[in-house]
Structure 1
Amino acid sequence: MSLSLKQLTVYLTLLGLGGGAGVLGSRYLMAEQSVQRPPEAVPAVLQPSNAQPSGRPPEANLNFIAEAVDRVGPAVVRIDSARQVSREVPDAFRNPFFRRFFGDEMPKPPEERVERGTGSGFILTSDGRMITNAHVVAGANRVKVTLKDGRTFDGKVVGVDSVTDVAVVKIEATRLPTVRLGKSETLIPGEWAIAIGNPLGLDNTVTVGIISALDRSSSQVGVPEKRVSFIQTDAAINPGNSGGPLLNARGEVIGINTAIRAGAQGLGFAIPVETAQRIADQLFTKGRVEHPYLGIRMATLTPDLRKEINEDKDFDFEVTQDTGVLIIGVAPNSPAQRAGLQPGDIIRKVAGQPVKSAGEVQKQVESSQVGGALEVEVARQGRVQAFQVRPGAFPTEDSDE
């Protein structure tokens, strides 16, 4: 069906999705029965899950966004956490002179204070396993979990992984509503994206937009210490949305809403569901995550970077190509050094897969096994060589190392 711009505007208004400046409206109304959706706007049929619908009559003609929220909403929770924060004691309280001067009237040093935060999460299993962001529960062993139906539970923080910003929580309950997990690997920019969470303390808030981009690196998002390739969306995400689900048009979870760029509007980022599920499984099983690492510093080559490196006398190698992934440095006694990799090597393949960017190399390394054999093919001085590297466990603040 081909629609003119005027006809399309009228159509969106009838669906309750009309808005200004290309922004989707915040109201999700029932579509008029006399209006047919264009074929591309009709999502696949939602698969059944044990999330309990809101009790709306089955004959109600909801749009696909409302249908997705109706099914998944009961499995989205609010997480309230608290942690003790020690205040720094001023030097005056340690100075014997002041103690002698004030005597019994010496003021008391500042006491510990409690920091409280609110985030979101969603239920994975009917017996109370759920997932959220690590920064939502940072420093807390116990949290308060509130379901959409008003029930509250004491939750135990089972595990936290600061490297990916994923954490898992367990509550003691049965027959809970759960989400259905989808796939982010097949996403295409322009697809619908639905966010549910508790932004700014406003519980059960729903926003909608599209998938704006994929594979945003941690440095692009502004969190270079993380090891995640983020999904970018323009669905409104605010503080408090952290840990809540990002859904596709079928109501499947495709990511965890995690970050926003300071000072930006319409830029939200989510951890892909495959990453979140892999980390959550390890946290529930072992309570911690081992991240494979090689011990290299690398950069995606460009003509400008090649020129800059070749003109810098601090580098004792010459770059002879404009594209590829350049090893800039190798950490002493690292898996990469033990395998024979050197600064100046240009990575061509990892685990048999061609790589063109540092992000692609990181993704292949992250999917490998600590201690397992990982083949890395490089170009060195015009020759192609393959090395067997055994990734080590990346030391983190959550580990015992």
Structure 2
Amino acid sequence: MPRIGAALLSGLTLAAVTSVTGASSPAAALQIAPQLATGGPSGPEERARADIYDSLQKLPRETPVSLVAQAVGPSVVYVETEMVRPVRTIFGLQNETRNGSGSGVVIHPSGLIITNYHVVENAREIRVSFEGNPESYPAERISFVREEDLALLKIQLPDQDEGSRPLRRRARGGLRAASDRAGADRSDGGNPDAGMTDAKGPTLFPTVRMGTSADLMPGERVVAIGSPHGQTYTVSTGIISGLHRDVSVPGRDLNFRGLIQTDASINFGNSGGPLLNIHGELIGINTVMNASAENIGFAIPVDRVRQVLEDVLFPNARRTWLGFDVTEDASGLVVSKVWPMGPAEGTGLCEGDRVVALDRTAVPDAESYLLQSLQVDVGRPVDIQFARGGETFTAPIAGWDELNGFFFRDVGLTVKEILLNQNRQPFLQVEAVLPGSPADELGVLEGDLLQAARPRTRQRYPAIALSDKATLKTILDGVPAGTEIEIDAYRDMNGDLRFSNNELLKGVLVR
């Protein structure tokens, strides 16, 4: 299939608005309009024309496109970015601030937004705003997939600041039946689903309805909403011109496959906005246009967007690990593993239990569970509701940060970042070790300081200082399972809280 070169939509472009000299003023138009309505000839032809006007007045002005705009418009956001890049000047290398803009659409009431990655790439500040609302909100890019040109944003509200929360090893309070809890602190007649909401939090944002791109038809009417050339909340309409288009983007090493082609206007600033069917359902994310032709634009199919969300964007955005794994079957979410010593160990949750709700929000499937888990803050106890043998139970659970969850699952330890001595040298201090894990086999103990690491596949390179969790995560991510990693660690053998070279230990961790 031939490939189509396309220009990527990015950056802020301001459309200059000019006035036409010599045009009739609005006041003059208002003076003439009544004469057109009441004056002039009154012969049979004019009476017939008047009858036509009367008939036209009875026709509804509302169209399917305008209904789509009314339904979906409140969930479309205008994305503004500020980015800094180094530029060479006569005074040397200096930072240049640039502004950009694009579009996005809300997919979850808590303020999760899907947009194009190129809209927010290298942005140090992101703000989003809604049509008709003078307030703009700061947003954070919480995950992205550059190769798919997709990014997930989260609107940041003042009451959502997480701050610094301690690691909790397990929840307190143990197992209790939901029916017992209902009698104590609820008046819902014992209904385990009472009080559940689709989202939790003081501010809920309007969302778009997700459609499917599996049954799209060439010639089908579509609607695009976005902010072309900085003109916020612009609606355009057209048809699906073609399906399964492969598009290459020169200069950015992007090669899209299976895009939707449409003649609905997709211009600079429409990037990241929704492409909708006539039912107001999301069928694609507008991403590129053919700059050398008119009315040739492309959108990422929503089924592909959904797959990237579930496989990459949601998992990578999750900041809290709850200590258990789930699988989905015909009955819903089933617990496939509860990690010993993990956050869920003290809850009574067992393998085979069916998860009903998380933080008082129903989670009937894997997608809703992933979305809800994004709302759980590290260390904040939330209720997990699960069913077993016809009975429903509720227990509190306080999650760890996702990085410690990764370390625990991968090599069997958790760590915290600390600064030591007068130089404030950073280390990773071991907090817990899982018996029988690779870390336990290495001989790591609680309180040890991890100082450096080097995969044995990189013998020509120096060891990497373990100054933070992200560095350890990068090292583990960069090697396959079974790789041997040399570890340098300090242990306070004499209990003086000082670490010298004779307290430096070396070993090999097998990932």
State TM-score, norm by structure 2. Answer: 0.41
Amino acid at match of 2:116: N
CA distance, structure 1, for counterparts of residue 104 and residue 62 of structure 2: 25
Cα distance in 1 for residues equivalent to 2:155 and 2:282: 21
Equivalent position to 2:306, from 254, 264, 277 = 277
What secondary structure, in the 3-state scheme, does the structure 1 residue paired with 2:147 have? Answer: coil
Residue 142 (structure 2) pairs with residue 171 (structure 1)? no
Measured in 1, the distance between the counterparts of 2:101 and 2:56 equals: 38
Correspondence 1:329-340 to 2 at 5 A = none
Q: CA offsets, 1:99-144, max 9 Å, x none?
A: xxxxxxxx63252101211000000011100100000000125301
Which amino acid letter does the alignment assign opposite residue 73 of structure 2?
A: G
Give the C-alpha shift of residue 69 in structure 1: 0.6
Q: CA deviation at 1:265?
A: 0.3
Matched, 1:159 2:160: no
1:87 partner amino acid: V
State how 1:214-225 maps to structure 2 within 5 Å: 214-219=243-248, 225=254
Three-state SS of the structure 1 residue aligned to 2:92 is: coil
Alpha-carbon distance in structure 2 between the residues aligned to 1:223 and 1:109: 27
Partner of 2:316: 286
- 1:65-93 deviations in Å (ceiling 9; x for gaps): 0001100001000001111100136xxxx
Offset at 1:218? 2.6
> 1:133-144 to 2 correspondence within 5 Å?
133-144=116-127
Q: Given the superposition, is the C-alpha separation of residues 268 and 223 from structure 1 closer, same or farther in structure 2, using an over 3 Å criterion?
A: farther
CA separation of 1:274/1:141 partners in 2, compared to 1, >3 Å: closer, same or farther? Answer: farther
Q: Distance in 2 between matches of 1:182 and 1:63?
A: 20
Q: Is the 8 A contact 1:167 1:280 kept in 2?
A: no
Residues 220 and 190 of structure 1: is their aligned pair in 2 closer, same or farther, counting only changes over 3 Å?
Answer: farther
Distance apart, 1:274 and its partner CA? 1.1
Structure 2: any 5+ residue segments left out of the alignment?
Answer: 1-54, 158-202, 319-475, 479-511
**Percent of aligned positions with the same letter in both sequences?**
38
Of 97, 106, 111, 1:128 maps to 111
1:113 — aligned with what? 96
Alpha-carbon separation, structure 1, partners of 2:103 and 2:87: 28
State the partner residue of 2:434: none
Report deviation, 1:285.
Answer: 1.9
Contact map agreement 2:77 2:129 (CA 8 A) in 1: yes
Counterpart contact for 1:221–1:269, Cα < 8 Å:
no
- Structure 2 equivalent of residue 249 of structure 1: 278
More strand by share: 2
Aligned partner of residue 257 in structure 2, secondary structure? coil
Partner Cα distance (1:137, 1:258) in 2: 13
- Which residue of 2 is the match for residue 188 of structure 1? 217
Distance 2:58 2:87 in 1: 64
Q: Retained in 2: the 8 A contact 1:195–1:247?
A: yes
Q: 1:266 to 1:144 in 2, by over 3 A?
A: same
Within 5 Å, give how 1:321-360 maps onto structure 2. Answer: none
**Cα displacement (A) at 1:32:** 5.0
Mapping of residues 2-401 of structure 1, within 5 Å: 62-88=62-88, 108-150=91-133, 151-172=135-156, 174-219=203-248, 225-281=254-310, 282-287=312-317
Say if 1:221 and 1:261, in contact at 8 Å, map to a contact too.
Answer: no
**3-state SS in 2 of match to 1:177:** coil
Amino acid at match of 1:283: L
Q: Deviations over 1:200-249 (max 9, x none)?
A: 00000000000000000134999763343110000011000000000101
Report runs of 4+ in structure 1 exceeding 3 Å deviation.
31-35, 219-224
* Structure 1 gaps, min length 5: 1-30, 36-59, 90-106, 289-398
CA spacing shift, 1:400–1:265, aligned 2, 3 Å: farther
Distance 1:228 1:67 in 2: 31
1:292-311 deviations in Å (ceiling 9; x for gaps): xxxxxxxxxxxxxxxxxxxx
How many Å apart are 1:160 and its aligned residue? 1.6
CA distance in 1, matches of 2:251, 2:241: 17
Q: What is the alpha-carbon distance in structure 1 between the residues aligned to residue 284 and residue 243 of structure 2?
A: 11
Q: Aligned equivalents of 1:149 and 1:203: distance in 2? A: 10
Aligned to 1:279, the other structure's residue is in SS state helix
The 2-side partners of 1:186 and 1:32 are apart by 36
CA RMSD of aligned residues (A): 2.5
The 2-side partners of 1:61 and 1:147 are apart by 25
The answer to whether the 8 A contact 1:197-1:241 is kept is yes
Contact residue 196 and residue 204 of structure 1 kept, 8 A: yes
Inter-CA distance 223–234: structure 2 relative to 1 (3 Å threshold): farther
Please give the TM-score of this superposition, normalised by the length of structure 1: 0.51
Tell me the distance in 1 between the aligned counterparts of 2:84 and 2:124. Answer: 11
Quote the Cα distance in structure 1 between the aligned partners of 2:155 and 2:67.
27
> Helix, strand or coil: the match of 1:81?
strand
**SS of residue paired to 1:217:** strand
Over 3 Å counting, the alpha-carbon distance change for 1:154 and 1:220 in structure 2 is closer
For 1:229, the aligned partner's letter is G
